[in-house]
Amino acid sequence: MMDKVLLAGFGGQGVMFIGKIFAVSGMIADLNVCWIPSYGPEMRGGTANCSVILSDEEIHSPVIDQADGGIVLNQPSYEKFLGRIKPGGVLVINSSIVNLNKIRDDIKIIKVPATEIANELGNSSIANMVCLGALLPHLNLTDYEKVKKAIYEVVGEKKPELLELNLNAIKKGMEH
């Protein structure tokens, strides 16, 4: 079984970070994991994206052509990655800032006003975590408990106030 996930947004929206959380949650579950960032000048300005594969068998091709799930946090990412979700797959959209000018009816589109929810929670920079929460129930190999452990591992004990905030954001996202 495999989860192939694409994540995209503006640089600074925490795209790489949620990718890493997914990857670490896979490590915790003793799965095979592959995390690939866009890198170099691509990282500075414009869109940032990364892909994550979780698998209970060996991951041969690390290249995701058609993903099982995706998160797009801004308009350019939406336009770029809408076609990259396989039929029957799931795409989570930050509907606070993405205008759904194109649509597909062969995939499940989850609209989450993530920026607004993040603001309500008191920190605009956790829209990424809200979207992570929205995608989570649609993945096979990871879940809230594993992601919670991953956040503890990545964020660590240095910023305990951030742990709770992140977890609340994920829970809010899961309601969508």
Partner 1 sequence: MSNRVLMKGNEIIGEAAIRAGCKLFFGYPITPSTEIIEYLAKNLPKAGGTVLQAEDEIGAINMCYGAACTGTRVMTASSSPGISLKQEGISYCAAAELPVVLVNVNRTGPGLGGLGPTQSDYFQSTKGGGHGDYRLIVLAPSKAQELYDFTLEAFDLAEKYRNPVLILTDGFLGQMMEPVELKEKPTSPEVDKSWVVDGARGREKRIIASYSLTNEIGEANNLRWEAKFNGIKEKEQRWEEFYADDAEYLLVSYGTTGRISKSVVLNARKKGIKLGLIRPITLWPFPEKAFIPYKNKIKGIVTVELNTGQMIEDVKLAMDCCVPIYLYRRQGGMLPTETEILEFLEKQFKLSTEEV
| Residue among 11, 29, 32, 137 that touches partner 1 (CB under 8 A) | 32
Is residue 21 classed as helix, strand or coil in its secondary structure?
Answer: helix
**53 or 126: whose CB is closer to partner 1?**
53
What's 126's DSSP letter?
G
Binding segment for partner 1 (CB under 8 A), chosen from 39-47, 82-90, 103-111, 158-166, is 39-47
Rg (CA), the chain: 15
Binding segment for partner 1 (CB under 8 A), chosen from 7-15, 36-44, 82-90, 168-176, is 36-44
Q: How far is the CB of 122 from partner 1 (least distance, A)?
A: 31
Query: What is the rounded distance in angstroms from the CA atom of residue 114 to the CA atom of residue 132?
Result: 10
119 is a contact residue toward partner 1 (CB under 8 A) = no
Binding mask 42-71 for partner 1 (x = CB under 8 A): -----------------xxxxx-x------
Cβ(93)–Cβ(87) below 8 Å: no
129 is a contact residue toward partner 1 (CB under 8 A) = no
The DSSP bridge pattern shows strands 108-112 and 85-94 to be: parallel
- Residue 60 φ/ψ region, left for φ over 0, alpha for ψ in the -120 to 50 degree band, beta for the rest: alpha
34 is a contact residue toward partner 1 (CB under 8 A) = yes
* Site of tokens 């000048």: 41
Q: How far is the CB of 17 from partner 1 (least distance, A)?
A: 13
Cβ(89)–Cβ(107) below 8 Å: yes
24 is a contact residue toward partner 1 (CB under 8 A) = yes
For residue 63, what are the CA distances in angstroms to 5, 48, 53, 137? 11, 16, 9, 23
Q: How many residues of this chain bind partner 1 (CB under 8 A)?
A: 20
Q: How far is the CB of 99 from partner 1 (least distance, A)?
A: 29
Question: Where along the sequence are the contacts to partner 1 (CB under 8 A)?
Answer: 20, 23-24, 27, 30, 32-37, 39-41, 59-63, 65
